[in-house]
Structure 1
Amino acid sequence: MNAVNELFRPRKLSALDAQYDAQRIAFAPVVFQCVRVAWKRGMLDALAGAAKAGLTTEDLVPIGRLSRYAVGVLMETALSAGVVSRDQDRWYLTKTGHFVVSDPLFRVNADFVHDVCYIGLADLEACLEQERPIGLRALGDWPTIYEGLSILPEPARKSWFDFDHYYSDSAFPDVLPHVLAHQPARLMDIGANTGKFSRMCLQQDPALHVTMLDLPVQLNVARQTLADAGVLDRATPYEIDLLDETAAFPGGQDVVWMSQFLCCFSEEKISSILARAAAALADGGRVLVLDTFWDRQQHEVAAYCLINTSPYFTALASGNSKMYESRAFIDCARRAGLQLADVRDGLGICHSLLSFARA
């Protein structure tokens, strides 16, 4: 794992190269939309299929169901972005273009940015000033996005859950043995979301009981997930407003589990949640936090994706949360009366598991 100071080291650039990078930033929203439309309209897939033969603009017109003019606009921007190349009158997909059409990471990120974030990010400056998710009004009338997750308008709902599950689901098989290593009798899943991880735990250990904490609208989904799997009888859905610092958590827990959850809150709220989690532990119990920390990534591509998810939290999710460095959680845990017992990196795509015990 690279240390933070090894990530994003400045490159040695000429003045012209640096100016070019600056203009790429200026036109980034334009490039995003053009490449996205070319991809969604099937033109990039067609170029992938054509391989070294390439396709002409006229070939792409019926594929994209657009005029020759419109195809030219899209292809020229894709050319400037390095997604396609051109030789005479033929277009070819580049290596970058192949990642656009074949990498699921691009798909979930691009759909999430377009369907969930794009319009709301126009309010980012005001959101930063007020630390409120003002951009959320583009999707619905809720104080934070979490109250509306299960009833988001389509395609935002599908894109949000595809994004969330792509990242979290990749780590679940890796982390499950660590969660159940000491055969806990009682596990509390804070921010149970769809109940997918609770279901996995209950199916893995027939003696386990799980308490799921979340907002009512989310627990309705989690209940159904567990009912469909036939394990709801060993689960207790517990409706709670986790931002209410007076709302205690059910006690006697051998494991308190949080997955991609604490990043949804400010550091002040994280400390409060961790303090209540610590109070809910049975003797010898552990608080396990699975999350995506940009400072613990091996490759810059993962850190880049994580860092640039933070403005979503600002503009649409809560107004005051982000993708944190791991030390932020560790400091919050210390203030909450917990000490770091273990760290495991490299789980799933880009996850780390922090294990805390009472100090």
Structure 2
Amino acid sequence: MNNRALALFSGGLDSILAIKVSQRAGADVTALHFINPFVSEVKTEYIKEKAKELGVPLILEPLGDDYLEIILKPKYGYGKAMNPCIDCRAFMLKKAKELLPKYNASFLISGEVLGQRPKSQMRHSMQQTAREAGVEDILVRPLTAKNLPPTLPERLGIIDREKLLDFSGRNRKPQMALARELGIQNYPSPAGGCLLTQVEYGKKLKDLINHGQYDLREIKRLNIGRQFRLSHGAKLIVGRNHEENEALKASAKDSDILMRVQNFKGPLAVLTGNDISYVALKTAARITARYADCPKEQKVTVTFYRINNPKNKEAIEVIPMASEEVSTYRIE
């Protein structure tokens, strides 16, 4: 066993401190960041910047379809929303363990703190995730290590247990004090990140699952725009601003239909699905017109085209849908 470790790195304060404390205790650390489709607030560029500030190599590892399967059918269930925290943590630890030989590393580091989170960081659940991932004796939690049994790297003296910490509970003042001591600034709020903990997001995700549209592209669009279920095989997403309009256009696939109201300011809308009927098309046009700066009680022209054939534009005349009717289609 050598002193090289992979540290699960979210970019949050705990993961930053875990790297610093581990280095101080003798570990040669490489940061490992899983690119998670359900985490919106931590951007890849920020992660790169923080790793550079810490002076550690960085591995960016995308999560794929096997990760989506545990979200769909978690062994240990969900939290208050669609957040399978224990299954998610175990999955990432298992993936990290699989990467150890590739990077000639011997153990893992995590920024977990005993008692900090009510579901995933209780003693029982921390033991459970480590056991499920098969990392019980090679997972070092440097911020809370003295509250836990010594791991193999500690027992062998590869990492100095005396330089590890005993943080516990939900009070984050010790972490903030340590950050000041180490000169660490500009770290994100601990509340940020996982969309699966949001009830409204969970409803949108359940809609995807129930209608057979469960893939990474659709998941990445769940947090963009107003979303409407038109039929089992058709869904509409309407941008709320220029940034969302651009994001929708960039995310469109060949079979998607893009819509705008002609001659009026308004949103870009994307009609997607595997069974788009004329009725769904007309309904989508009426909803799109509802959010445009146009008269609401007379016909307007909505142009539409498929992303793979933008020159072949078609048009349909519709009366914008009334707000009361729009609400019957909205996913919320």
The structure carrying a bigger helix percent of its residues is: 1
TM-score by length of 1: 0.27
Q: In terms of Rg, which structure is larger?
A: 2
TM-score by length of 2: 0.29
